Chains A and B, each alone.
Chain A
Amino acid sequence: MSYSDKVIDHYNNPRNVGSMDKNSTDVGTGLVGAPECGDVMKLQIKVNPATSVIEDAKFKTFGCGSAIASSSLATEWVKGKTVDQALAIKNMDIVKELSLPPVKIHCSVLAEDAIRAAIGDWKKKQESGKPVAAEAK
Chain B
Amino acid sequence: MSTDVKIPQTLPKTHHAAPEGVKLPIYMDNHATTPMDPRVLEEMLPYFMEKFGNAASRNHSFGWVAEEGTETARERIAKLIGATTKEIIFTSGATESDNLAIKGVAEMYREKGNHIITAVTEHKAVLDTCKRLEKYGYRVTYLPVQKDGLIDLDDLKRAMDDKTILVTIMFANNEIGVLQPIAEIGKLCHEKGVVFHTDATQAIGKVPVDVIKQNIDLASISGHKMYGPKGVGALYVRRKNPRVQISAIIDGGGHERGMRSGTLNVPGIVGLGKACAIAQEEMPKESCRLAGLRNRLRDRIMTRLDETYINGSMEHRLPGNLNISFAYVEGESLLMGINDIAVSSGSACTSATLEPSYVLKALGAGDDLAHSSIRFGLGRFNTEAEVDYVADRVIETVERLRELSPLYEMAKEGINLKDVKWAAE
From B332, B352, B371, B403, give the contact of A35 (CB < 8 A).
Answer: B371
CA distance in complex: A34, B329 (Å): 13
Stretch among B144-152, B162-170, B416-424 lining the A interface: B416-424
Q: Are A32 and B423 neighbours in the complex by a CB distance under 8 Å?
A: yes
Given contacts A34-B422, A40-B422, A62-B405, 6 further A-B contacts (CB under 8 A): A1-B350, A36-B422, A38-B367, A63-B333, A64-B333, A117-B423
Task: Tell me whether A3 and B367 are in contact in the complex, defined as CB-CB below 8 angstroms, given that A14-B404, A35-B422, A60-B404 are known contacts.
Answer: no
Residue B425 lies at the interface, judged by CB distance under 8 Å to chain A = yes
Q: What are 24 A-B residue pairs whose CB atoms fall within 8 Å in the complex?
A: A3-B336, A8-B336, A31-B406, A35-B367, A35-B371, A36-B368, A37-B348, A38-B330, A38-B347, A38-B348, A38-B349, A38-B368, A40-B422, A42-B409, A61-B404, A61-B405, A62-B405, A62-B407, A63-B330, A64-B347, A68-B404, A103-B352, A106-B425, A110-B425
Residue B356 lies at the interface, judged by CB distance under 8 Å to chain A = yes
From A41, A60, A64, give the contact of B336 (CB < 8 A).
Answer: A64
Q: Are A62 and B423 neighbours in the complex by a CB distance under 8 Å?
A: no
Task: Tell me whether A62 and B425 are in contact in the complex, defined as CB-CB below 8 angstroms, given that A35-B371, A38-B348, A38-B356 are known contacts.
Answer: no
**Which residues of A sit under 8 angstroms from B368, Cβ to Cβ?**
35-36, 38
Interface residues on B, range: 20 to 34
Interface residues on A, range: 20 to 34
Q: Are A109 and B425 neighbours in the complex by a CB distance under 8 Å?
A: yes
CA distance in complex: A117, B423 (Å): 10
**Which residues of B sit under 8 angstroms from A32, Cβ to Cβ?**
423, 425
Q: Are B425 and A60 neighbours in the complex by a CB distance under 8 Å?
A: no
**Which residues of A sit under 8 angstroms from B12, Cβ to Cβ?**
8
Task: Tell me whether A17 and B422 are in contact in the complex, defined as CB-CB below 8 angstroms, given that A38-B347, A39-B330 are known contacts.
Answer: no
How close is A101's CB to chain B, nearest CB, in angstroms? Answer: 11
Q: Are B333 and A65 neighbours in the complex by a CB distance under 8 Å?
A: yes
Q: Are B333 and A31 neighbours in the complex by a CB distance under 8 Å?
A: no
Residue A19 lies at the interface, judged by CB distance under 8 Å to chain B = yes
CA distance in complex: A113, B349 (Å): 19
**Which residues of A sit under 8 angstroms from B356, Cβ to Cβ?**
38
Task: Tell me whether A11 and B333 are in contact in the complex, defined as CB-CB below 8 angstroms, given that A36-B368, A42-B406, A62-B407 are known contacts.
Answer: yes
Residue A80 lies at the interface, judged by CB distance under 8 Å to chain B = no
How close is A20's CB to chain B, nearest CB, in angstroms? Answer: 12
**Which residues of A sit under 8 angstroms from B17, Cβ to Cβ?**
none
Residue B354 lies at the interface, judged by CB distance under 8 Å to chain A = yes
Question: How many pairs, one residue from A and one from B, have CB atoms within 8 Å of each other in the complex?
Answer: 92
Residue B366 lies at the interface, judged by CB distance under 8 Å to chain A = yes
Q: Are B347 and A35 neighbours in the complex by a CB distance under 8 Å?
A: no
CA distance in complex: A131, B405 (Å): 37
CA distance in complex: A8, B335 (Å): 12
Residue B328 lies at the interface, judged by CB distance under 8 Å to chain A = yes
Task: Tell me whether A60 and B409 are in contact in the complex, defined as CB-CB below 8 angstroms, given that A11-B336, A35-B371 are known contacts.
Answer: yes
Q: Which residue of A lies closest to B336 (CB)?
A: A65
How close is B309's CB to chain A, nearest CB, in angstroms? Answer: 14
Task: Tell me whether A36 and B366 are in contact in the complex, defined as CB-CB below 8 angstroms, given that A31-B406, A110-B425 are known contacts.
Answer: yes
How close is A116's CB to chain B, nearest CB, in angstroms? Answer: 11
Q: Are A33 and B423 neighbours in the complex by a CB distance under 8 Å?
A: yes
How close is A10's CB to chain B, nearest CB, in angstroms? Answer: 11
Of all A-B residue pairs in the complex, the 10 with the closest CB atoms, nearest first, are A34-B422, A42-B406, A35-B368, A64-B332, A38-B371, A60-B406, A36-B367, A64-B349, A65-B336, A62-B405
Q: Are B422 and A62 neighbours in the complex by a CB distance under 8 Å?
A: no
Q: Are B366 and A62 neighbours in the complex by a CB distance under 8 Å?
A: no
CA distance in complex: A35, B405 (Å): 11
Q: Are B425 and A33 neighbours in the complex by a CB distance under 8 Å?
A: yes
Q: Are B406 and A37 neighbours in the complex by a CB distance under 8 Å?
A: no
**Which residues of B sit under 8 angstroms from A39, Cβ to Cβ?**
330, 425
CA distance in complex: A36, B333 (Å): 16
CA distance in complex: A32, B12 (Å): 31
**Which residues of B sit under 8 angstroms from A14, Cβ to Cβ?**
404
How close is A126's CB to chain B, nearest CB, in angstroms? Answer: 21
Interface residues of A in 98-127 (CB under 8 A from B): 103, 106, 109-110, 113, 117
Q: Which residue of B lies closest to A17 (CB)?
A: B404
**Which residues of A sit under 8 angstroms from B422, Cβ to Cβ?**
33-36, 40
CA distance in complex: A31, B410 (Å): 11
